[in-house]
Amino acid sequence: MDTSAIFTQEPSEPGSVRREATAAILAAAERVFSRGGFEAARMAEIAAEAGLPKANLHYYFGTKERLYAAVLEDIVTQWLDAAAEWIVPERHPAEALSGYVRAKLADARVRPGASRIFAGELLRGAPLVMPFLRGELRRRVEAMGRVIESWSARGLMDKVAPAHLFFAIWAMTQTYADFDVQIRAVLGEDGAHEDETFAAATATVTALVLKGCGVHAAA
């Protein structure tokens, strides 16, 4: 073991302890909140997973609700990027929609907890994310809706109700994270067939969206 790092180490960059602690707390909180939502989560459990005393959580975040809000903020921020990357007028709808579906399904698989926390927040009536839903999300859906309409106008796909198409895509993809337990139970999974399940899900959802919207194969 190289112990020289002790000597070459910076004399504690300001906020480095804070940054590591808050990062550990946020990661632990995402895991715990994803299991049973806000109410079921216990501050003591989050503290234990973060490897810190319970009092530190209150020191850094004040209340349970503010910690939960910080986790939600994290999730929502990353949420919008995938859509902005794929749903752009320059792409052909075949590429855009299949790419978006694939990205959403991959995210549901890699980071199911984030989707579940968001789902739980909506089920509760969205007390905390309501401003986001009515503001930023609504504007994004309107903008993406105009992209869809431009594709329809160019004859690249059928006319559809754009917002409802997004509701459908979100529902079909996020169900693999949110209701994962149901899917495993019905398919009788022991975890061994994960790759086939993912492939079948991708094929099914992509086909429903592309053929369902009458998207012509890209030239």
Partner DNA sequence: GTCTATATGAAGATAGAC
Partner DNA sequence: GTCTATCTTCATATAGAC
Nearest to 65 by CA among 11, 113, 29: 29
31 or 54: CB nearest DNA: 54
Pick 17 or 203: Cβ nearer DNA:
17
Q: For DNA, which is the closer residue by CB, 14 or 188? A: 14
The pair of structure tokens assigned to 204 is 């099914």
d(CA 123, CA 199): 29
- What minimum distance in Å lies between the beta carbon of 25 and a second copy? 21
Candidate segments 22-30, 88-96, 130-138, 147-155, binder of a second copy by CB under 8 A? 130-138
Is residue 213 within 8 A of residue 97, CB to CB? The reply is yes
Q: Which is nearer to DNA, 63 or 150 (CB)?
A: 63
Query: Nearest to residue 40, comparing CAs of 31, 52, 49, 48?
Result: 31
In the complex, least distance from residue 14 CB atom to DNA, rounded to whole angstroms: 7
Interacting residues toward DNA by CB under 7 A: 14-15, 17-18, 21, 41-44, 52-56, 58-59, 62-65
Phi, psi for residue 74 in degrees, rounded to 5: -50, -50
Does 76 participate in binding a second copy (rule CB under 8 A)? no
Q: Contacts with a second copy in 166-205 (CB under 8 A)?
A: 167-168, 170-172, 174-176, 178-179, 181-183, 185-188, 200-201, 203-205
Check residue 139 and give left, alpha or beta (phi > 0: left; psi -120 to 50: alpha). Answer: alpha
Q: Which does 175 bind (CB under 5 to 8 A by kind): a second copy, DNA, none?
A: a second copy
CB atoms within 10 A of CB 87: 24
Distance CA 140, CA 134 (A): 10
d(CA 204, CA 198): 10
* Nearest distance from C-beta of residue 176 to a second copy, angstroms: 8
CB of 116 to DNA, least distance (A): 18
- Min. distance of Cβ 20 from a second copy in angstroms? 30
Q: Does residue 66 touch a second copy according to CB under 8 A?
A: no
Tokens of 97: 């929609």
| 96 three-state secondary structure | helix
How many Å apart are CA 87 and CA 148, to the nearest integer? Answer: 8
By CB under 8 A, name the binding residues for a second copy. 35-40, 116, 119-120, 122-126, 130, 133-134, 137-138, 141, 158, 160-161, 163-165, 167-168, 170-172, 174-176, 178-179, 181-183, 185-188, 200-201, 203-205, 207-214
